[in-house]
Amino acid sequence: MTQIATVERILDPGHAEISVPRKSACGHDCEECAGCGVTGAAVHARAKNPIGAAPGQKVVVESSTKKMLWIITLAYMVPVALFLAGYLGGVLLSGSIAVQYALAVAGFALGLLIAVGYDRRLRRQGGLSFTIVRLF
């Protein structure tokens, strides 16, 4: 996966801190939709700098698509899948709507805990790895 970033500062001869604009589904075309109040926030990350990019330069960075898809799956699909599994488990175990809803919510909460736990583990390991591949 490639993205456009700005080099914020040089950390050491082989690494730089980059600023990657956060993308959203709305596209931030605020004039068209009356605005939601969200600004285009940026994510700061550490990136390998094999080309020697300098602070202030726009660069193209690359990250692992496989790892990104795994993160998306954990963040979105696992909570939904566990919600549905909880609901269906409630249907099989009991005819009570309250039990079905309670198991569905418990499954969703478990999915969120798994996603948050993975996020924390990933942050401890250094997060996603970015590599600056060329100047923009």
User: Token pair of 69, please?
Assistant: 């898809």
Distance of CA 49 to the CA centre of its chain: 22
| Closest CA relative to residue 68, chosen from 79, 60, 76 | 76
Each residue of 70-111: pLDDT tens digit?
A: 888 888 899 999 999 999 999 998 888 999 999 999 999 999
The alpha helices in the chain, defined as continuous H runs, are 30-33, 65-72, 78-93, 97-124
Beta-bridged to residue 134, according to DSSP, are 60
CA distance 37 to 89: 40
Q: Which residues contact 15 (CB under 8 A, 6 or more apart)?
A: 46, 47, 48, 49
Each residue of 30-85: pLDDT tens digit?
A: 555 655 555 567 778 888 999 988 999 999 998 877 777 888 888 889 999 999 99
Mapping DSSP onto H, E and C, the string for 36-47 reads CCCCCCEEEEEE
pLDDT at 58: 93
The pTM is what?
0.60
3-state SS class at 63: strand
What residue segments make up the domains of the chain, in order of their start? 2-135
